Structure 1
Amino acid sequence: MKTAILSVMVIVMAVAAQAKGGLDNTIRPGEIWPDDKGVHINAHGGGVMEYKGMYYWFGEHKSDNTSAALVGVTCYASKDLVHWKNMGVALSVSDEPGSDIERGCTLERPKVVYNPATKKFVMWFHLELKGLGYRAARAAVAVSDKPAGPYRFIRSGRVNAYRYAEGVTRDDIAELETIRLNEYEWWTPEWRKVVERGAFMQRDFEGGQMARDMTIFVDDDGKAYHIYSSEENLTLQIAELSADYTFHTGRYVRVAPGGQNEAPAIFKKDGKYWMITSGCTGWDPNEARMFSADNIFGPWTQHPSPCVGPNAKLTFGGQSMYILKVKDKFIFMADIWRPNHPSDARYIWLPIEFDAAGVPVIRWRDSWNMD
């Protein structure tokens, strides 16, 4: 009896220490993660940016009963990646009727990067206009002079209008222009073949490419790239951003055409690019995918899932969100979605290991220490 009481006391003290920002530097994947006020962190589908020794975690603010954006993008700050201070709302939704970011829109997967040339913090996110479901498929951008905001919304829209993907030849264009998607029954082998060839890219040539689940990656040379799920979530695209990170240059490639990948998370180690993605199963988890390339524009090679351990076939119940580099280490971040109670969605943070061949491995741990 005494042993049981003592065990309960130890658990309560550990949780209380973490809630109060104590000395407990333990990450507990999938559990409640309290901020400096003891409230579960509300920053879903986001990413982490380091600036001058401080880490800033941006994410979607989720309400209790809806995944629609009623607040905006929240920001938390930390020096140790374990204890987080709530910095408030970095980007607020608008109460102006007809605004792109009108309250009730869908605002997902915000990522923030710092541009040293302009000294601006640039936020990109996936945006769906209020009342249109997922038909808009836009990318949106906002900027700020301070890491935690407030961010000023600039614009939203489709990506790279009147541009074909790199590697598409004149002959390809001529052939694509003859394709009429309504002549094919969806999900048939014939339909899949024309999708892989670029039928949706051709369909959206004038209006711009669809851009949904996304991330932003800044390479060693300072160039930034927008990686997003496009072509009805059937094909990933990687697009180069302008020098100030707020526009697309028009250069982009298609990755895994027809493969149905979303939730891209990317990192670079020893000159090789690695990308972890998810299949498209709505809010339900599925098995993670992994790709590698020696050049960010490809070609990209697919590998088996990097996940190992209990529930690895379902990515431990989560979906990839971001990969953070900390010195020479990498942390895989994922969300456990709770569509019936969005604000209770949980986070999976796990260290990335590498096997003898240098291939990433993500091993489940009930807890691990950031030290």
Structure 2
Amino acid sequence: MKYNSIRPGQVWLDTNGNRIQAHGGSIMYLDGTYYWYGENKEKTTGENDIWHWGVRCYTSQDLYNWEDCGVIIPPEPENPESSLHPSSQMDRPHIIYNKETKKYVAWLKIMHRDGTQTETVMTADDILGPYTKVREGLKPLNMSAGDFDLAVAPDGKAYYYFERVHSETICADLTADYTDVTGYYSTHFPHTQPPFVREATAHCLRKGKHYLITSGTTGYLPNPSEVAVADTWHGPYTVLGNPHPDDESSTSFHSQISSIFKVPGKKDLYIACADRWLPEHMDRKYEEYAAVFEKIFGGDVKPEEMDNRDDSLDDADMRNTSIADYVWLPLRFEGDMVYIDWKDEWRIEDYE
């Protein structure tokens, strides 16, 4: 099947006719070709202990039709201690290019079974790999580091926006080689607990303004997004509210943002790339499961009561992310505010 438009929320197949597996992903534009990479969830059916099968990458000339380039960061099934073991909860790979070292630098978030989160950092000479580990078990600033985004300034300096787990958002300067943090950082959006803590941070720079779009913290269950704006990389950021004005479900159109991509050659086209993790659970109401998260993480549920809590969040079929879809929508700017409007179908060619 050949596509000539983007159809948010519909099943998206690659040029081989298979579901695209690039979740929690991002797009890079290199020498006239688009590269879309992300978590390969093809084996994550909920019926096994497989969380991921590496990082997969696709290429395209038009942002519609994507050719599978295979797994560029493979899993390590033979090493149970590896952060890349299939049972390891690896999420949200981000790759940036360092013009000085001429290396592609990939950061991977790793969730551990004890609740802590660390980073694995890898480098390669080509975006398609092979990638070599340079850091594993990294705790940036000695913090448990969750969902994140990486951004490179025009002068080559790089920044790392991450969720300090269940606490606040951190903006940290990266070292010159992009493989660690310098120690300089700023803090933003402090909250007491999920679902209020912000995660899934996505950064973009437009006309001198820095935008962060984030989600609340409710696992794979969707929730209202929030947009904030600042004049500098480190802020301070002003929270402007929910960018989804027509979303009556309070679920960001049943999706969670992963990144924002500025389309080259277009005057003002930015795409909010998001995942619809649970396409078969679009009847769930945000208010119901948000209350569960608030109660559990607020400490209102005693350990002996955990077996009596609402277990609807633990359904096996809710762990089947192999059928997750994508919700790509253009950003609309009005003054400092940014909006994401629903479109059943839209085309890159319709924008200047």
- Normalised by the size of structure 2, how large is the TM-score? 0.81
Q: How many residues align?
A: 299
Q: Which residue of 1 aligns with 2:212?
A: 275
How far apart, CA to CA, are the structure 2 residues paired with 1:308 and 1:326? Answer: 23
Q: Which residue of 2 aligns with 1:354?
A: 333
1:358 offset after TM fit, Å?
A: 4.0
Structure 2: gaps of 5 or more residues: 279-317
Q: Which of 228, 233, 238 lines up with 1:301 in the alignment?
A: 238
1:79 offset after TM fit, Å?
A: 1.5
- SS of 1:309 mapped into structure 2: coil
Q: Which residue of 1 aligns with 2:167?
A: 234
Q: Percent identity?
A: 36
The reply on whether 1:285 has 2:222 as its aligned counterpart is yes
1:311 offset after TM fit, Å?
A: 4.0
Contact 2:102-2:125 within 8 A present in 1 as well: yes
Q: Which residue of 2 aligns with 1:60?
A: 39
How far apart, CA to CA, are the structure 1 residues paired with 2:18 and 2:232? Answer: 42
Q: Which residue of 1 aligns with 2:185?
A: 252
2:211 aligned partner, one-letter code: W
Q: Which residue of 1 aligns with 2:62?
A: 80
1:340 offset after TM fit, Å?
A: 3.7
The change in CA–CA distance for 1:72 and 1:239 in structure 2 (over 3 A counts) is same
1:154 offset after TM fit, Å?
A: 2.1
- SS of 2:253 mapped into structure 1: helix
The change in CA–CA distance for 1:99 and 1:110 in structure 2 (over 3 A counts) is same
Q: Which of 277, 282, 289 lines up with 1:337 in the alignment?
A: 277
1:287 offset after TM fit, Å?
A: 0.7
1:234 offset after TM fit, Å?
A: 2.1
Bigger radius of gyration among the two: 1
How far apart, CA to CA, are the structure 1 residues paired with 2:94 and 2:139? Answer: 17
Contact 1:57-1:77 within 8 A present in 2 as well: yes
Q: Which residue of 1 aligns with 2:290?
A: none
Q: CA RMSD in A?
A: 1.6
Cα distance per residue 1:24-66 (max 9 Å; x no partner): 4200000011101011101111111111111111111112424
Alignment of structure 1 residues 1-371 onto 2, 5 Å: 19=1, 22=2, 24-62=3-41, 63-66=43-46, 68-94=50-76, 95-129=78-112, 132-133=113-114, 135-161=115-141, 208-230=142-164, 232-258=165-191, 260-311=197-248, 313-327=250-264, 328-338=268-278, 339-355=318-334, 357-371=335-349
How far apart, CA to CA, are the structure 2 residues paired with 1:64 and 1:248? Answer: 32
How far apart, CA to CA, are the structure 2 residues paired with 1:89 and 1:72? Answer: 6
Cα distance per residue 1:186-227 (max 9 Å; x no partner): xxxxxxxxxxxxxxxxxxxxxx11111111111222211111
Contact 2:277-2:321 within 8 A present in 1 as well: yes
Cα distance per residue 1:236-270 (max 9 Å; x no partner): 11111111111111111111112510000110111
1:273 offset after TM fit, Å?
A: 0.2
Runs of 4+ in structure 1 deviating by more than 6 angstroms, as ranges, are: none
The change in CA–CA distance for 1:68 and 1:155 in structure 2 (over 3 A counts) is farther
How far apart, CA to CA, are the structure 2 residues paired with 1:312 and 1:116? Answer: 43
Cα distance per residue 1:277-305 (max 9 Å; x no partner): 00111221111111111111111110111
The change in CA–CA distance for 1:240 and 1:68 in structure 2 (over 3 A counts) is farther
How far apart, CA to CA, are the structure 2 residues paired with 1:122 and 1:160? Answer: 16
1:55 aligned partner, one-letter code: Y
- SS of 2:84 mapped into structure 1: coil
How far apart, CA to CA, are the structure 2 residues paired with 1:312 and 1:142? Answer: 39
1:364 aligned partner, one-letter code: W
How far apart, CA to CA, are the structure 2 residues paired with 1:54 and 1:48? Answer: 10
